[in-house]
Amino acid sequence: MLLHIIARGKIGRTSEAELVDRYLKRISWPTRVSELPDRGGSLPEAASNAVSVVLDERGQALSSSAFARKLEGWRDTGRREARFLIGAADGHDEGLREKADLLYSFGPATWPHMLARAMLAEQLFRATSILANHPYHREG
């Protein structure tokens, strides 16, 4: 299953970009990052049977293990792509939120969208590590 981060804004050559790259290179699953302008622009074409995850502070906060189980379930039911949408400073429009298969939150705090990208990359690495029984994740 392709893990596809679709983010508003250009990350450029920043320390956050280095973190994103570091974690994505460690993931054994195929990954892709697409950047959109802060406003406007079209979402990249989705693979058939894709799942849509919208990062939103009002979404569901999941433990790393629970997040891994979500990925596992989607993969095992034949989903070809998991799309993770990160909004710009003003978040997502209501239509996109309503169409999401999951509204996912890193908690009630507001995070800078560039940092959220790095946090998502780390959680994707952690989740795939959990599913591979890799020792990176330590429970409790």
Instruction: Judge whether residue 113 has pLDDT over 80.
Output: yes
Q: What is the pLDDT of residues 20-76, one digit of tens each?
A: 999 999 999 999 999 999 888 899 999 999 999 999 989 999 999 999 999 999 999
Instruction: Judge whether residue 138 has pLDDT over 70.
Output: no
Q: Which domains does the chain have, with CATH numbers?
A: 2-131 (3.40.1280.10)
Q: pTM for the whole thing?
A: 0.93
Residues flagged as binding site: 55, 87
Please state, in angstroms and rounded to a whole number, the distance separating the CA atoms of residues 98 and 100: 6
42 class by beta-carbon count within 10 Å (0-12 exposed, 13-18 middle, 19+ buried) = exposed
Residues flagged as binding site for S-adenosyl-L-methionine: 55, 87
Nearest Cα to Cα of residue 67 among 122, 115, 111, 4 = 122
pLDDT of 140 reads 61
